[in-house]
């Protein structure tokens, strides 16, 4: 069926600062895998790179069809402490959402 949705995946990450160790903890909420990083810049760089992302289960697609994949990234401010959310409201750089990136998949 044209324009039908075959699958959808939301990949969530949680970034937290640990004041005791002075490190940033980046956790993949889907897999539970976490990483300890020394700076916020390193954490943001890590989030900016997409690698090893499970895109689609082969059993969901037919070999004789073409598929279109779309991906975007955005920051969810719902889990940010209220005091920081108020500050982020005034800082334009914190309102982050990428454009949609689209490519064709052909098994």
pLDDT category of residue 37 using cuts at 50, 70 and 90: very high
Q: Largest Cα–Cα distance of the chain, in whole Å?
A: 55
Give the 3-state secondary structure of the chain: CCCCCCCCCCCCEEEEEECCCCEEEEEECCCCCEEEECCHHHHHHHHHCCCCCCCCCHHHCCCCCCEEEEECCECCHHHCCHHHHHHHHHCHHHCCECCCEEEEECC
pLDDT at position 97: 77
The pLDDT tens digits of the residues spanning 38-58 come to: 988 888 888 877 777 766 777
User: What predicted TM-score, i.e. pTM, was given to this entire model?
Assistant: 0.62
- The predicted-structure confidence for 58-103, as pLDDT tens digits, reads as follows 787 888 888 888 888 777 666 666 666 666 666 655 556 788 888 8
């Amino acid at each position: 069926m044209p324009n039908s949705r075959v699958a959808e995946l939301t990949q969530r990450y949680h970034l937290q600062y640990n004041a005791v160790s002075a490190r940033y903890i980046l956790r993949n909420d889907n897999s539970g895998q976490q990483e300890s990083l020394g700076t916020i810049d390193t954490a943001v760089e890590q989030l900016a790179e997409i690698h090893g992302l499970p895109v689609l289960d082969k059993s969901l697609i037919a070999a004789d069809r073409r598929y279109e994949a779309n991906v975007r990234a955005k920051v969810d401010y719902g889990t940010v402490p209220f005091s920081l959310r108020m500050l982020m409201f005034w800082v334009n750089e914190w309102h982050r959402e990428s454009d949609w990136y689209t490519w064709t998949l052909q098994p």
